């Protein structure tokens, strides 16, 4: 090939690589735009019903019955009457208190027992450790519904039926296998050198657990706490069956299920009660979303 031909080939090759790189950049830009569009659709999918619920709960009942919730946007006319009726006539305050009395202790117990059980299965040698691990995996795929009848009989026998501690035992028992399984994978990924160094320094198992395992597992524990709280808060079947005949106000899910069929105050108070039931877990998730994302990513990378 002549010198002139070689000189003319270099710019053509350079332009070709530049064009290919530009095409790749444009392709990535289109892909990023598509991802953003999909995420926006998911956000709207979850946000629009909450907005509709909020606006419907703030509108006068006559307007709620006459037009759709979107009509409140151009002509806003809001009132707190529905919330006053929800607290005065629908016993929403008592139901929210009962739900919190169930969900908060359940969440705390699930976190504490899960991290203790996971640490024992990973870092302690004792007889039956493999059998317990297999049992936890089996419980993960066991439907809780198959235990309802025998547990109802047992609860009636020992006097736990219609009590909040009975709900704690049931919800903790069936959430605990997932919590132990989640934390077990994370604790197993903690470098063994950390534990060996702590033992050489004379640290006890309790000190190792408190100073190494708990701080490192905090994001996973936060994620587990959010999921356990949401599962307990949104549970309808277990409180409906196990709190029958109780003198306590029903949990918010049980209260709403009854109000849907028998309320005579119209849709406004029911919308207000429903929004209050959504507001508590919504505030929890939004306030702890940073820890939740860190926990999920940590579990995906290390678990």
Both 277 and 154 in one domain: the answer is: yes
Using a 10 angstrom Cβ sphere, with 0-12 exposed, 13-18 middle and 19 or more buried, the burial of residue 170 is buried
Both 99 and 40 in one domain: the answer is: no
Q: Tell me the DSSP string of 90-118.
A: S-HHHHHHHHHHHHHHHHHHHHHHHHHHH
Reading the chain (303 residues) residue by residue, the pLDDT tens digits are 444 444 444 444 455 555 555 555 555 666 778 888 888 888 788 788 888 888 888 888 777 666 666 666 767 777 788 888 888 888 899 999 999 999 999 999 999 999 999 998 888 877 777 888 888 888 888 888 888 888 889 988 998 888 899 999 999 998 999 999 889 888 888 888 888 888 888 888 888 888 888 888 888 898 899 999 999 999 999 998 888 777 888 999 998 888 877 755 677 888 889 999 999 988 888 887 776 666 555 554 444
* Model pLDDT, residue 300: 45
Residue 78 falls inside a structural domain = no
Q: How many domains does the chain have?
A: 2
Both 110 and 202 in one domain: the answer is: yes
pLDDT tens by residue, 284-294 = 888 877 766 66
Residue 138 falls inside a structural domain = yes
pLDDT tens by residue, 212-250 = 888 888 888 988 999 999 999 999 999 988 887 778 889
Closest by Cα among 130, 116, 129 to 187: 116
* Model pLDDT, residue 7: 47
CATH code for the domain of 172 = 1.10.3720.10
Residue 83 falls inside a structural domain = no
Closest by Cα among 263, 268, 265, 260 to 59: 268
């Amino acid at each position: 090939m002549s010198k002139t031909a070689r000189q003319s080939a270099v710019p053509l090759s350079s332009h070709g690589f530049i064009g290919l790189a530009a095409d790749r950049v444009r392709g990535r830009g289109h892909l990023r735009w598509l991802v953003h569009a999909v995420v926006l659709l998911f956000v709207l999918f979850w946000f629009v019903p909450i907005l509709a619920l909020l606006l419907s709960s703030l509108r006068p009942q006559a307007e709620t019955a006459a037009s759709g919730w979107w009509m409140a946007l151009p002509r806003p006319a809001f009132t707190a009457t529905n919330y006053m009726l929800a607290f005065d006539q629908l016993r929403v305050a008592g139901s929210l208190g009962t739900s919190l009395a169930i969900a908060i202790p359940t969440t705390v117990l699930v976190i504490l027992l899960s991290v203790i059980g996971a640490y024992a299965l990973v870092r302690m040698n004792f007889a039956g450790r493999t059998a317990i691990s297999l049992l936890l995996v089996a419980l993960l795929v066991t439907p809780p519904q198959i235990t309802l009848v025998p547990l109802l009989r047992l609860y009636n026998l020992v006097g736990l039926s219609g009590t909040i501690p009975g709900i704690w035992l049931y919800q903790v028992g069936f959430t605990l296998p997932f919590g132990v399984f989640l934390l077990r994978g994370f604790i197993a990924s903690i470098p063994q050198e950390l534990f060996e160094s702590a033992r050489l320094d004379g640290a006890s198992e309790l000190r190792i657990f408190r100073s190494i395992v708990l701080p490192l597992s905090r994001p996973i524990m936060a994620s587990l706490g959010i999921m356990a709280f949401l599962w307990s808060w949104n549970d309808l079947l277990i409180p409906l069956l196990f709190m029958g005949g109780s003198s306590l106000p029903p949990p918010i899910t049980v209260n709403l299920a009854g109000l849907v069929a028998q309320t005579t105050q119209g849709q406004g108070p029911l919308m207000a009660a429903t929004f209050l039931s959504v507001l508590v877990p919504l505030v929890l998730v939004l306030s702890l979303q940073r820890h939740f994302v860190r926990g999920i990513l940590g579990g995906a990378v290390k678990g």
